Structure 1
Amino acid sequence: MAGVVGSLSRSGLRGREAELEELQALIASVAHTGSGGLALIQGEPGIGKTTLLAEAVARARAAGFSVGLGRADELHHIVPLSSLAACVLHGDQPLLSGDAFVDLARNHDQRIWLVERLAEAIEARAASVPVLIALDDVQWADPLSQFALKQLPTRLQTSPVLWMLTGRREPAGPADEVVAAATGNLPTVTVRLGPLSGAAIGQLAGDTLGAAVDEQVRDLLDGAGGNPFLAVEMLAGLRTAEASDELVPPGLVVGVRGRLRSLQPSTLRFLQMGAVLGRRFGFPDAAALCGRTTATLIEALEEAVRAGLLDDDGDHLAFRHDLLRQAVYADIPPSARKALHREAAHHLVSAGHQPIDAVPHILRGALPGDEEAVALLRRAADAVLPVTPGLAADLMTRALELVPPARPLRFAVGEQMILCMTRAGRNREALSAGDRLLAGRPPLEAFSRLQAALGGTLWNMDLAGELRRRAETALAMGGAAPEIGARLAALRALALSRDHDLVAAREAGETALRAATAIGDREAHVLALSGLGEIAQNAGENAVALERFAALSAVESAFLPEEIVAHLHVDDFESSERLLLQVADNAGSMRQAMMLWAQGQHDLGLGRLDDAEADFVTMERLEDDVQVPVQQVNARVIRSRIALLRGDREAARQHLTAAQERLAVKPNPGNTAAVRFLEAVHAEADGHIRLAVDKIRQVQQEGFFMRWRLLRDWVDSAIRMALRGAEHELAEDLAAQAEAHAARNPAVPTATGIAAQALGLVNNDLAMLERSVRLLKASPRPLVRAAASADLGQALLAAGRNPQAVAALTHARGMFAESGAHAAAARVQRDLDGAGAGGGRAATTQRPVQGWEALTASEKKIARLVADGHTNRSAADLLVVSPHTVNTHLTSVFRKLSVNSRVQLANLVMALPDN
């Protein structure tokens, strides 16, 4: 029989010539252009996907590709990154060593970081040889592999990396999601395999039987419905029947069932145990389920391999096709299956496997009240939470279902479930589940624990008032463990940071911090410091906020972005840059999207508009990737202002629309105020001064603390709108706000300079505007300095002091132009024209949209580095930025230069006159 199976190995190619040529064309394209590609082979089980993939892989290997080939497994679809593991660990030249992969999977807790490391390994290989990553049965890919597959093809689109996937047709399934993510970014091909024609099935039969196919065989093959695997199995069964003079039983799976009946009972039982374990399983594990030693099952193993049912690679056994496994599995009575899965879970854990390896069997076999299964699910959820929080939440949901309502364990499991759901961004689901548990009248200690667990959920949902109410209720009821009481007190202080009485909030925060320190609870300590940092920011006390956030990041490094931004608020850009450099060297444990937010704020403050735009674009993409939007509204507000400074009104409006759409999803006071301010800026730009003034007034009324957080550096713009609208009282209120902020931050040049600028504008005070410019010389923010110089220049013009006005305006125009704020520079130029000083127009010239000169300074640096052979990682290391930001810049470079690969980019750069 082994010979029969071998002769059929290429039979699935009958009738697939056109599909194979389509794949061959994509292979050639990737090899020739040096850019990426993706192919998906779809069809029903047994239709020939695996055979077609194998032939395409063989052709790619013959064309010089480095190949990584793997297969996802139905019963192993939970283990993080297990599906892609085979693709990167096996082959003639594995992309990663086993040790490196273990380090990747175990020691780092960021999905984005992990995927970037995979990208670096593949990109490094693709620098010398085209790479093919092939994954069979993608519909069973584990969640982390699915996440990676949606990111990697686009991330590696500029390298010769070809992705080939096979999958069943499932609407909105993993395969379609991967293709959708890649579409528009790199060439994609979907090959849908339908039933083979009668002629192709006839050729297949001739290949197998080696003779003309008679009418009886053709009638039999009609039952295969054009499915080549089923046809092959029927033909194999026919040969078996002919050899033994047995009648061939009727039915679609005649070959499979026929061969199973011919096996020894011990072999069939061994196969059934293997089918319970999965398509790929360990010989000792199957023997243990049989209740036998491996030595007594060698004969059964040999018979299964001879029958063409199993393959043996020396490490594991695997059913030759999943339909074979399913046929064996289907013959096990359903009640026996559940019991066997329970036994399999128990054995795997006893044998030293990780809890996550036992989870698929728990999900199929556990019964309510099975506390061992619940414990395994909890351990597995803890293990996968850092990289697949959604899976952790699902596992905990199942664990809770297994705990009967009357068991005290239910509340502990529910607490863990809430935390997992919140981590996964499923806040509404977490709150609903928590409220159901609370309705079950838990003991006081469990009640307090559940309310503390819901604290992060409520904060993420911007329900500060509800958070305060629940924390105070739980504290008043008593009965909480000391550490839980400390956490509740800290959560209360965090909620009070959104209140008008920030003095009371600060007192609550200090009390909570003392309690957390005394008890030694790290989570309470983090919450208390976070609340105190928020309170100080909302009070406009930037130095105090820095002190709190620095202490917070010392306790929990994930909060380093908050410390960096706090440094910026006191004009300490040197320290923020030092911390950013530190993170660039070791970003594995950081919140990468928030680090990009901090980097964007840093670049924006220094007037690097191009780099800031790239930072915020990248940040938004990473937040979209993990589906946890935090700064999306604020990023779009800033990007819209950047576009207006550049003079790109269309892009500015698009960002405004995007900000408004995101506000509808996350309508907290801060986001609302930010969007209202942006609407005011756009209304002014469109000549609707009354509307602009109304929006500014809304901002002032939106929340007292927003005066400090939103208008810290933009108050001058709001004052100009108020003055243009003849709303002098509003302008005075804004100026008083700037004065109060300066009083809270007397050592911050930007704060004191803006306060003087505000008073100078409101009172038309030339001396105060001059003082503003002097104070702001110590500010590291060129756009702020430029705006103050422009205001001074206009006031000097009005006073008839043209020479001094021209000097101030020329200085302002230069700073705006150097930052890329071409529209702002053009407005200043118009004032210069009015003063009779029209020189220097070239300084306001905008970049073209296509070609080398369309590239920003950072894009040119990256283009040259990549042309010299650098990977994203090595270019990022040289420029001390995130590889994600390099990818954003590189994508822009390819678009502006109309190139599709690094090879094309290198050729273009080499042809430049100054190269």
Structure 2
Amino acid sequence: MSGAVVGRDEVIDRARRALAEGRPVLLEGPAGIGKTVVHRAILDAARRDGWRVLDCAPTEIEAGLPFAALADLLATLADRVPRLPAPQRAALANVLLTDEATQPVDERSVGAATQALLGAALADPAEPRLLVAVDDAPWLDPPSERALRFALRRLVPRVAVLATARVEQSGAEPAPLGLDRAARPERLTLDPLGVGSLHHVLRAELGAALPRPLLVRIAGEAGGNPLLAIELARAVLRMPHPPAPGADLPAAPSLRGLVVDRLATLPPQTRDAIRLAALSGVPTLAGLARAGVPPSAFDAAEEAGLVTVGGDVVGFAHPVYAAAVRAEIPPGVRRRLHRLLADTTENPDERARHLARCVTGPDPAAAAEIAAAADRQRARGAPETAAGLYDCAARLVPPPVGEHARWRLAAVQCRFDGGDFPATKSAADQAARELTGAARAEALLLRAVVAWSSDEPPGAAERAAEAALAAAPAGSTLAGRIHAHLSLFRDAPDPARHHGEAAIELLAGSRNDRDMQAAALLLLFLNEVRGGLPARTELLDRALELEGPAPSWLAGIVPAVWWRAIDEHDRARERLHTLLDRATMRGDEPSQHELRTHLGEVELLAGRWPAAAAHIAAARELGEQNGSDQVGVKWLDGLLLVHRGQLAEATRIAESGLRRAAETDDEWCRRIHEQLAGFAALIDGRLPAAARHYGDLAATIDQMGLVEPLAQRFEPDWLEACVGAGDLTTAGAVLDRLAARHRRLPRPWTTLGLARSRVLLAGALGRDPSDALAELVAARAAVPADVLPFDRARCLLVAGVAYRRLRSRREARDALAAAAVEFDALGAVALAARARLEAGRTGGRPPAPRQLTATEREVARLAAAGRTNRVIADTLFISPKTVEANLARVYRKLGVGSRAELGAAMARGADVEA
């Protein structure tokens, strides 16, 4: 449709403006409306404007060729590939830019390499603007689509994007390549052309002008669709006489129908030729000649405008022509043609593709060829294509044959590798029903991994793995691998530990399962500690030696969890960054999401809160993009909010998490949000509520048999809440609990928490806290300043209050002033204010008559916020009578008579500075 750009000036101008503004452009419309012509016109204009254009035009038949579209798009950047990191360089060099892969392709590395390559092109000062263009984006092969989606999500709007999509109703479908998530795309619908524009289109395409009345009829019959109008005009021109004014035009129920009608006018040899071309992956004259098709067979089709022949390549003038040709082939004829192509092609993958479409009964030889092609497609990073071929191969041999089970399981694994969890679940369930013995156990283990990796209800992974273990041969390495997985899936430490021990015993000596042995050792180590046993660090050392440079996905995070638990933040950070670098180079976004969350927690404990916030934000963004579960990220965000004093939002997050835990019966979700709710209530001064949440958390942990909950360090806060709420009996029991944790596994946080708790409880019981204060000073001195700075500052706050109650005013002022400084350095607003409030109560020069003291100012602030006298007393650790006395002085000094007037005065800031 060389003239179809007529009448599209406004669309082209809007597209150019949007691209210049950094917004992706999506051209939408039905088949034949002229999207490709407009697409090319925009690209021509972009090149004239100085853009570097990377483009590809995938077709329906190429959708099964892995990375075909990406190879076309990146071809002009091939000289930059050698400068990429090794995993990315290998991925592109082996798949995109050469004919044969020399090693299995890591598809995630291809996505990361695509991002790096486009980023390098952006950095070229000679070509500052880069445009990625995809014509007919829905026909992208899945590996190319995923790689481009991965890269563009990170590079838009710095990289401009232009895509076309065939749709019947604009905006009804999500934008391809995730463009509606990367930015706000400009979605441009190509409307039907008017009679005047169609006149120019038909004259340019057919070389003749039609009479105006006939042109109007064709335009109305075609609905303004230029390709349909061209086909109608051709049908009219084939008539012996032009249709009379009242006569019907040639029947045109659809564009495809018109194409089929045109096919019927072609010689039989030409029809067979273009049928074979439509069924071929990449039709060439040489390949079709081996199938008995002479080049002259295409002459009539080329004259009719259906195909174009350029050099050795045969192409269809429009994708809808190829689709129409394939649609009209009867099933029996189609199988015969596929057999002919299979017997004459020189490409083994093309032969396998045709065999899969023509063999219907048991055929072990054909099945072997198809499975070999599936192996190659899998190595090249096309798991979806490989899965279909494996399924076909499995269908061509009866189930008792050993290869049947292997191919069926390979199809399940490929679907999992492609990230299609619903399809994997269905395929694994079908395989488990169909297979027996060890093969059934393998299918059930895959089913368990899918349940663990997706958002299935708690316990689904464990149940599937238990069924797999029951089906596995006793004493086999397969049973060992299942035990290793169960050691991860079981949250209770004792059962998890027993599975770990069984895995280590069964996998011992298996050279093919070193990664699983390392994982089992790590999980055994972790669960022994969680169960209250002494930490056997030799298990950790053996696992790290065994795993080599590539940690197992099953338990590679365990060393970092351990080092974080014992406050060795540098080691935990180093391990997590090593794993994150590997995941980033491979484009493994689910792992990046998990690792960013763990890094956020490490940096929060280490007092590097801006870094923690950055990791939390990155994890949140990755989760939103990938659909990963966000429970852990939201909880960690709430924890950071509490530390910073933003208590209302943190409380909302805690309440939402507890509701979800109740709905899903998710114990882990319940534990972390009980801790968050308790911490938010503690810092907010709601001490009875805090004590209740911590009590519920402890009950849950005890019920699980979790003696050492490594990630949850809550006893010092629980004790503080109990002391504030007046429950000294429970506070004493909590102190004993904390002391037991410290004896089992001394760590900086238990050292500081135990010392702080003893000072608090001694003061609450009316005992002399001098010895406890001395212990607190020694504990702070024993923990380096860069380890747990938040906990160290809280020790100063507790010490200052204790000194004040002992009437050691100088020591109290010094401790509280230092606490305020340390809280300020961290950004702990609420506790910094509390430290200053306590410092103000140690005495000093009296304030001017209308100025508020530090205590009065805090009482006034809380009263203006609507807090009751009881809550204010609990928050500030003073009695309700002291609150009443301070409020009376505040009212007198500010000249107000009610809390409503007090709120207005506080909002104005009238005379409230100390």
> Would the TM-score normalized by the shorter structure come out above 0.5?
yes
Report if aligned partners of 2:236, 2:249 keep a CA contact under 8 Å in 1.
Answer: no
- Give the superposition deviation at 1:695: 2.1
Aligned pair 1:801/2:808, yes or no? yes
1:45–1:452 CA distance, 2 compared to 1 (3 A) = closer
Summarize deviations over 1:760-790 as a string: whole Å, max 9, x none.
Answer: 4344443343343233237722222222232
1:776 maps to which residue?
783
Query: 1:422-481 CA distances to partner (integer Å, 9 max, x unpaired)?
Result: 5566667756665555555x5433344444444534655788977777767776777457
Say yes or no: does 1:201 pair with 2:202: no
* Residue 300 (structure 1) shift: 3.3
Q: Name which of 121, 137, 160 aligns with 1:125.
A: 121
Alignment of 1:276 onto 2:279: yes
The one-letter amino acid paired with 2:190 is L
Amino acid at match of 2:521: L
Taking the aligned partners of 1:233 and 1:601, their CA distance within structure 2 comes to: 64
Tell me how far apart the structure 2 counterparts of residues 465 and 382 of structure 1 sit (CA, whole Å): 36
For residues 858-877 of structure 1, give each alpha carbon's deviation from its aligned partner in whole angstroms, at most 9, with x where no partner exists.
xxxxxxxxxxxxxxxxxxxx
Q: Are residues 469 and 634 of structure 1, via their aligned partners in 2, closer, same or farther at CA, if it must alter by over 3 Å?
A: closer
Per the alignment, residue 141 of structure 1 pairs with: 140
Equivalent AA in structure 2 for residue 789 of structure 1: L
Preserved contact between residue 452 and residue 488 of structure 1 (Cα < 8 Å): yes
> Matched residues in 1 for 2:118 and 2:782: separation?
52
Stretch moving more, 685-694 or 57-66: 685-694
Quick one: distance in 2 between partners of 1:533 and 1:708?
Answer: 13
Letter in 1 for 2:374: A
Residue 445 of structure 1, aligned match among 438, 446, 450: 438
Alpha-carbon distance change, 448 to 336 in structure 1, aligned in 2, over 3 angstroms:
same
- Paired residue for 2:59, among 73, 76, 100? 73
Residue 167 of structure 2: SS of its match in structure 1? coil
Moved more, 141-150 or 104-113: 104-113
Q: Is the CA contact 2:270–2:300 (under 8 Å) kept in the aligned structure 1?
A: yes
Equivalent in 281, 286, 289 of residue 288 of structure 2: 286
- Mapped partners of 1:777, 1:663: distance in 2: 37
Rounded Cα–Cα distance in structure 2 between residues aligned with 1:549 and 1:151 = 33
Q: 1:42 aligns with which of 17, 20, 28?
A: 28
- 641, 644, 660: which one aligns with 1:643: 641
Counterpart of 1:18 (choices 10, 20, 24) is: 10
Letter of the structure 2 residue corresponding to residue 446 of structure 1 = A
Q: Relative to structure 1, is the Cα distance of residues 379 and 250 closer, same or farther in structure 2, using a 3 angstrom cutoff?
A: same
Cα RMSD over matched residues?
Answer: 4.4
Note closer, same or farther for the CA distance 1:78–1:822 as it changes in structure 2 (3 Å cut): farther
Distance across 1 between alignment mates of 2:398 and 2:511: 34
CA–CA separation in structure 1 for the residues paired with 2:740 and 2:594: 29
1:509-908 mapped onto 2 (5 Å cutoff): 509-522=500-513, 524-539=516-531, 544=537, 546-547=540-541, 550-551=544-545, 553-554=547-548, 556-559=550-553, 560-579=556-575, 582=578, 587-589=584-586, 591-629=591-629, 632-649=630-647, 651-652=649-650, 655-656=653-654, 659=657, 663=661, 668-684=666-682, 688-704=686-702, 708-709=708-709, 712-746=712-746, 748-764=747-763, 765-777=772-784, 780-835=787-842
CA distance in 1 between counterparts of 2:678 and 2:516 reads: 40
Partner of 1:298: 295
Aligned pair 1:190/2:187, yes or no?
Answer: yes
Residue 703 of structure 1 aligns to a residue whose secondary structure is helix
Deviation at 1:697, TM superposition (A): 1.9
Counterparts of 1:56 and 1:493 in 2: how far apart (Å)? Answer: 57
Equivalent residue letter for 1:791: V
Structure 2 regions of 5+ residues with no counterpart?
A: 83-88, 764-771, 848-853, 855-914
**CA pair 821-243 structure 1, distance change in 2 beyond 3 A:** farther
Question: How far apart in 1 are the matches of 2:660 and 2:59?
Answer: 38
- Structure 1 residue 62 displacement after superposition: 0.9
State the match for 1:873 in structure 2.
Answer: none
Distance verdict in 2 for CA 1:120–1:454, change over 3 Å = closer
Shift of 1:339: 4.3
SS class of match (1:12): coil
How far, CA to CA, are the matches of 1:174 and 1:553 in structure 2? 49
The residue identity in structure 2 corresponding to 1:101 is L
Distance 1:72 1:601, change over 3 A: same
Tell me how far apart the structure 1 counterparts of residues 673 and 547 of structure 2 sit (CA, whole Å): 30
CA distance in 2, matches of 1:462, 1:730: 38
Which amino acid is 1:516 matched to? L
Quote how far apart the aligned CAs of 1:22 are: 1.4
Q: Is the 8 A contact 2:564 2:602 kept in 1?
A: yes
Report the equivalent of 2:269.
266
Q: 1:671 to 1:255 in 2, by over 3 A?
A: closer
Task: Write the letter of the residue equivalent to 2:226.
Answer: P
TM-superposed deviation, 1:260: 4.2
Report SS of the residue matched to 1:281: coil
Given that 1:95 and 1:122 are in contact with CA atoms closer than 8 Å, whether structure 2 keeps it comes out as no
2:78 aligned with 1:85: no
Q: Distance in 2 between matches of 1:173 and 1:525?
A: 51
Shift in Å, 1:490:
3.4
Contact 1:769 1:791 in 2 (8 A): no
Alpha-carbon deviations, 1:696-749, whole Å to 9, x = none?
222112234656336644432233223323333443444334333322333x33
CA distance in 1, matches of 2:741, 2:380: 40
For residue 163 of structure 1, report the CA deviation from its aligned partner. 0.9
With structure 1 as the length reference, what TM-score do the two structures score? 0.76
How do 1:241-256 residues align onto structure 2 when only pairs under 5 Å count?
250-252=250-252, 256=259
Task: Tell me whether 418-427 or 54-63 shows the greater mean CA deviation.
Answer: 418-427
* Distance in 1 between residues matched to 2:472 and 2:233, nearest whole Å: 75
Residue 115 (str. 1) matches residue 111 (str. 2): yes
Change (3 A) 1:598 1:342: farther
TM-score, normalised via structure 2 length: 0.76
Q: For residue 43 of structure 1, report the CA deviation from its aligned partner.
A: 0.8
Taking the aligned partners of 2:136 and 2:756, their CA distance within structure 1 comes to: 65
Q: Post-superposition shift, 1:640?
A: 0.8
Letter aligned with residue 444 of structure 1: G
Q: Which amino acid aligns with 2:288?
A: A
Cα deviations by residue, 1:59-115 (Å, 9 ceiling, x for unpaired): 111111111121122122244443343222259x99869987334766786665543
Hey, what's the Cα distance between the residues in 1 that align with 2:777 and 2:804?
13
Q: Secondary structure at the match of 2:509?
A: helix
Corresponding residue of 2:873 = none
Aligned residue pair count: 805
CA distance in structure 2 between the partners assigned to 1:424 and 1:667 by the alignment: 30
Query: How far did 1:50 drift?
Result: 0.7
**Distance change (3 Å), C-alpha of 1:715 and 1:576:** same
> For the Cα contact (< 8 Å) 2:517–2:543, is it kept in 1?
no
Unaligned segments of structure 1, at least 5 residues = 1-7, 31-35, 842-915
Q: Decide whether aligned partners of structure 1 residues 222 and 421 sit closer, same or farther in structure 2, where only a CA change above 3 A counts.
A: closer
Asked whether the equivalents of residues 412 and 424 of structure 2 are also in contact (C-alpha less than 8 Å), the reply is yes
Which has the greater radius of gyration?
A: 2
- TM-superposed CA distance for 1:318, in Å, is 2.1
What's 1:501 paired with?
A: 494
